[in-house]
Structure 1
Amino acid sequence: MADDDRLVLHGSFTSSSTYKPILFLALAGLPFSFRTVNLKNGVQKEPAHLAINRYGQVPVLRHRGLTLVMSNVILDYLARTTGHFEAATEQDRWRAREWLAWENDAIVNVARVRHFHRFRKVDPAVMDFFLPGAEAALDMIDRSLAGRQWLAGETCTIADIGCWGRMVFMAEGGMSLDNRPHARAWRDRLMAMPGFALPYDLIPKRDAELPPIA
């Protein structure tokens, strides 16, 4: 494989935004290179990283001369480029991307609550503001999965990977799927897929070259 054709992902071990594209690549069995960005040490704000991500965030995907940021944009690109995890119909392909846009508006509250629990102490009023929105997003996922296996179409798509990838750290924010049976069954279907792993088992802690997953 030519160097320019190698997927290179920059990200962080503790980042749900990093987990989403890595989960895609693992489920698709695709090889890629990982470059770790230590958020704790502020590497994401240093000039070298800002040169590839103006927002000072992770992840970043570099491929075929392109540099892409924002996890859901990366999922969109990976689906279009590799053909993996695209829905069968045009309507469902657009629906999957609608889910990604909604995720960035709603499920991101799950990530915020987790961040405040684990990484940054905030006034309880701040938590009281974001927690209802996080719980409502989980409820929406549960309702939407009633009577169906996947969020968009008849197979797993980037909608499922994107939404689950943001929800995955919910327990670190005191949330769960215990009373959300449809979402719980959906999670179990994802976890049963070949290549699936949870973030701390999947995201490398240091730079790594990942081979194809058999």
Structure 2
Amino acid sequence: MDYTLFGHPESGHSYKVKLALEVAQIPHHYQVIDIGLPHQARPEPFRSLAKFGEVPLLLHQGQAYVQSNAILLFLAEQTGRFGGESSARLARAREWLFWEANRLGLSLAHLRFARRFDALAYPAGSLVWFERRYDADIERLAYELRDGRRFVLDDEPSIADFSLCGYLYWADQAQVAVPPTVAAWLANISQLPGWAAPYTLLARSAEAR
């Protein structure tokens, strides 16, 4: 089997990649990494191959790929699907991946971490800033979906959808609201063959999928 994914059930970034693999029906091995361990205590080959010490890590034919959105771009190019059908579609998907990393993937992920795990890790007032940032981010995504199309680029799913939804299925844990158009889009993603909620998808064993 050519693909091995290392991830963790609490990682929205791991979820992005696992979801893409499942929906694309790409056979792969999956291994949970205990991200509570110090980096130097994490198992091999993850410890040596994860350039930044983070999940997800994808191995393909001996090559290591890190950073969730970079992995999604690799998968689109490899499969010719989910944005990889043409250079023009991939360019549009890439724009959303860069936006997600700087906007929604920042604001929402931090709000979830603070409100689910450790609010004391954040300086006073920082969560208010993240809330305002999230409000602007989710409003922008809702505006994009205002015409009722099924997915972000068009009526077919792409890596833009997998990236943007990474933490939104945990919006309740972040204690944030999701506009109706965004909720409808999330429902469309959840109807894709292979979809499962984050904890279900990421808690599966290291057996081949």
Q: SS of the counterpart of 2:76?
A: helix
- For residue 55 of structure 1, the aligned residue among 52, 55, 61 is 52
5 Å-filtered alignment, 1:150-189, equals 150-177=151-178, 180-189=179-188
Q: SS of the counterpart of 1:91?
A: helix
Q: CA RMSD in A?
A: 1.9
Q: SS of the counterpart of 1:97?
A: helix
Contact 1:96/1:158, CA 8 A, preserved across alignment: yes
Report whether the alignment pairs 1:114 with 2:103.
no
Percentage of identical aligned residues: 27
TM-score, normalised via structure 1 length: 0.88
Report whether the alignment pairs 1:74 with 2:71.
yes
Partner of 1:191: 190
Task: Using the TM superposition, name which of 31-40 and 115-124 deviates more.
Answer: 115-124
Report whether the alignment pairs 1:8 with 2:4.
yes
Q: Shift in Å at residue 73 of structure 1?
A: 0.6
1:151-199 CA distance string (max 9 Å, x none) = 123411000111011322221010131xx22212111111111111110
1:32-82 CA distance string (max 9 Å, x none) = 101111112335764743311121110000002210000001111111112
- For residue 41 of structure 1, the aligned residue among 27, 37, 61 is 37
CA distance in 2 between partners of 1:54 and 1:187 (Å) = 31
- For residue 29 of structure 1, the aligned residue among 15, 25, 28 is 25
Contact 1:87/1:153, CA 8 A, preserved across alignment: no
Counterpart amino acid of 1:152?
A: L
Partner of 2:143: 143
Counterpart amino acid of 2:135?
A: E
CA distance in 2 between partners of 1:95 and 1:132 (Å) = 26
CA distance in 1 between partners of 2:52 and 2:192 (Å) = 33
Q: Shift in Å at residue 88 of structure 1?
A: 4.7
Contact 2:56/2:68, CA 8 A, preserved across alignment: yes
CA distance in 2 between partners of 1:45 and 1:137 (Å) = 36
Q: SS of the counterpart of 1:159?
A: helix
Contact 1:44/1:57, CA 8 A, preserved across alignment: no
Cα distance change of structure 1 residues 45 and 167 upon mapping to structure 2, 3 Å threshold: farther
TM-score, normalised via structure 2 length: 0.90
CA distance in 1 between partners of 2:196 and 2:20 (Å) = 11
Contact 2:76/2:84, CA 8 A, preserved across alignment: no
Contact 1:37/1:43, CA 8 A, preserved across alignment: no
Q: SS of the counterpart of 2:119?
A: coil
CA distance in 2 between partners of 1:208 and 1:120 (Å) = 32
Partner of 1:204: 203
- For residue 96 of structure 1, the aligned residue among 93, 96, 99 is 93
Cα distance change of structure 1 residues 38 and 46 upon mapping to structure 2, 3 Å threshold: closer
Residue ranges of structure 2 left out of the alignment (5+ in a row): none
- For residue 16 of structure 2, the aligned residue among 11, 17, 20 is 20
Q: SS of the counterpart of 1:10?
A: strand
**Number of corresponding residues:** 204
Residue ranges of structure 1 left out of the alignment (5+ in a row): none
CA distance in 2 between partners of 1:176 and 1:106 (Å) = 16
Counterpart amino acid of 1:24?
A: A
